[in-house]
Amino acid sequence: MTRPTPAAIVDVPALIDSRPIGGVQILTFVLCFLIVLLDGFDTAAIGYIAPSLITEWGVSRPALAPVLSAALFGLAIGALSAGPLADRFGRKVVLVAAVAEIGLACLASAYAGDLFQLSALRFLTGLGLGAAMPNAVTLTSEYGPAPRRALLTNMMFSGFPLGAALGGFLAAWLIPAYGWRSVLVLGGVAPLVLALLLALLLPESVRYLVARGAAPARIHAVLRRIVPGTAPAAGYGLGAASTGSARQGGLTLVLSPAYRLGSIMLWAAYFCGLVIFYALVNWMPILFREAGLEPRNAALIAALFPLGGIGAILLGALMDRFDADAMVAAGFALTAVAVAAIGQVIGTVALLVPAVLIAGTLMNTAQSSLPALAASFYPTEGRATGVAWMMGIGRFGGIAGSFLVAELAGMSMPATFAVVALPAVIAAAAVIVKRFARRAAARSGAGAAPALGH
């Protein structure tokens, strides 16, 4: 009796898309969610300890701007470099190294003696943060079946605003009891534990292995974990997602004519969203204290803003069903109105609490959905680079946001929040333009990943 010959070529994306979500995909989702949760905690931690720095070190509000933005410079550099590295060496290697680096740098930050030391260590923390987030998005997207890809990616990325909110609640408890350095100690130990779990449990992206021409036996070993009973094949392919210019890969693909306009619009939208996010997360505790709120109440109310990121889960489901670009653009348009409204009610706590929560829900829902848009816009060969460069370029928006509020010192609270709301209008327009760019890329046959919302 002759042995059956292996199937000639297996279309890996089609196989994943045709099956329900399994244990390996759930494990990948949970680990990536924890990565982004800790990223959110570490990124926002400096904003929550800022009032304590002003008190203990006797520094002014403008003098804090370099400390608040130092991690963002690292985030930008980390993201811009880690995307191409992940497209070349793999998602898992970059993720494990990045999370370990976050832990070491954040732990060292707890022992900083002045603003210069703290700024330098926050920059190093940012390098790891910038490398980790886009690769977590990419890995989740590549393991998610198409009918649920946006939902899974948004659920995973909602860990970032939830982590930022968690930082606020923990800071309100830790700082009075143990001092501001305790927040950074916690932000350093947790990633080191997670890095060990990632090294032991996290699988490599099977789409990446196919795109890089890994041995069929290695690909089959991963596929067998995803879809038990999968027979060996003579070869594996990426189907319609690997045609045309997709073979260029990396930054060459991201900036190719078919993808250039869409890439620039994604960068612009992410940039504008982070102007708002970091302007408010870093400065709201201080602004609320200047408006007369008690320090503890200022931190707790400010923490409601990133907590609103859980709305991204609902938008992810809508993106899988309707036009994803239109959903996100509408979110940014509503964000502009809601952020401006915070400045109008800042003197009344009963109105301020729902205003901050609503604005945070709208803003973080729209912003947290952009990685899903980017992941669906690019094919496997350039996906990590495309997502990472969007986040890397966007980080300069976070830097701008950190300095923006410092430069608005002296303006009224309504005027300050009105200025911060303006980038949301620009982001909404950029996503609409990207919508047409996505359709043009699809018509050109450039090998774009299947669009969300169809």
Tokens 């669906």 sit on residue: 376
Q: What are 61-86's pLDDT values in tens digits?
A: 677 777 777 877 888 888 888 777 77
Which of 133, 91, 83, 157 lies closest to 319, judged by CA?
157
Contact 387, 134 (CB under 8 A): yes
Contact 272, 426 (CB under 8 A): yes
pLDDT attached to residue 316: 61
pTM of the predicted structure, to 2 decimals: 0.70
Please state whether 250 falls in left (phi above 0), alpha (psi between -120 and 50) or beta.
left
Tokens 């570490």 sit on residue: 42
Please state whether 191 falls in left (phi above 0), alpha (psi between -120 and 50) or beta.
alpha
Distance, in Å, from the CA atom of 177 to the CA atom of 320, rounded to the nearest integer, reads 45
Using DSSP, how many helices (H) and how many strands (E) does the chain show? Answer: 18, 2
Tokens describing residue 381: 């060969």
In a domain, 5, yes or no: no
Q: What are 348-407's pLDDT values in tens digits?
A: 777 888 888 888 888 888 887 888 788 778 777 777 788 888 888 887 887 788 777 777
Q: Which amino acid is at 41?
A: F
In a domain, 450, yes or no: no
Give the length of the chain.
454
Tokens 């829900």 sit on residue: 361
Q: How many CA atoms lie within 13 A of 288 on its CB side?
A: 30
Q: What are 179-207's pLDDT values in tens digits?
A: 888 888 988 899 999 999 999 988 887 77
In a domain, 2, yes or no: no
In a domain, 268, yes or no: yes
Residue 281: CATH number of its domain:
1.20.1250.20
In a domain, 86, yes or no: yes
Phi, psi of 277 (to 5 degrees): -60, -50
Largest CA distance in the chain: 87
pLDDT attached to residue 426: 94
Please state whether 225 falls in left (phi above 0), alpha (psi between -120 and 50) or beta.
alpha
In a domain, 453, yes or no: no
Q: How many CA atoms lie within 13 A of 333 on its CB side?
A: 11
Tokens 């970059």 sit on residue: 94
In a domain, 362, yes or no: yes
Contact 272, 330 (CB under 8 A): no
Helix axes 23-57, 159-178, angle to 10 degrees: 40
Handedness of CA 299, 304, 306, 310 (dihedral sign): positive
Q: How many CA atoms lie within 13 A of 345 on its CB side?
A: 17
Burial class (CB in 10 A: 0-12, 13-18, 19+), 128: buried
In a domain, 222, yes or no: yes
Q: What is the mean pLDDT of each run of 10 residues along the chain (454 residues)?
A: 54 73 82 87 77 76 74 82 77 90 90 85 88 83 73 76 77 80 88 93 80 77 76 70 51 80 90 88 76 71 69 64 81 91 78 84 84 79 80 81 73 81 92 78 51 43
Burial class (CB in 10 A: 0-12, 13-18, 19+), 195: buried
Q: Count the domains in the chain.
A: 1
Q: What is the mean pLDDT of the chain?
A: 78
The DSSP code sequence of 323-370 is -HHHHHHHHHHHHHHHHHHHHHHTT-HHHHHHHHHHHHHHHHHHHHHH
pLDDT attached to residue 96: 93
pLDDT attached to residue 450: 45
Determine the 3-state secondary structure of 233 from DSSP.
strand
Which of 87, 62, 196 lies closest to 142, judged by CA?
87
The DSSP code sequence of 44-55 is HHHHHHHHHHHH
Q: Which domain holds residue 79?
A: 10-443
Please list the residues that pair with 237 across neighbouring strands: 11
pLDDT attached to residue 245: 43
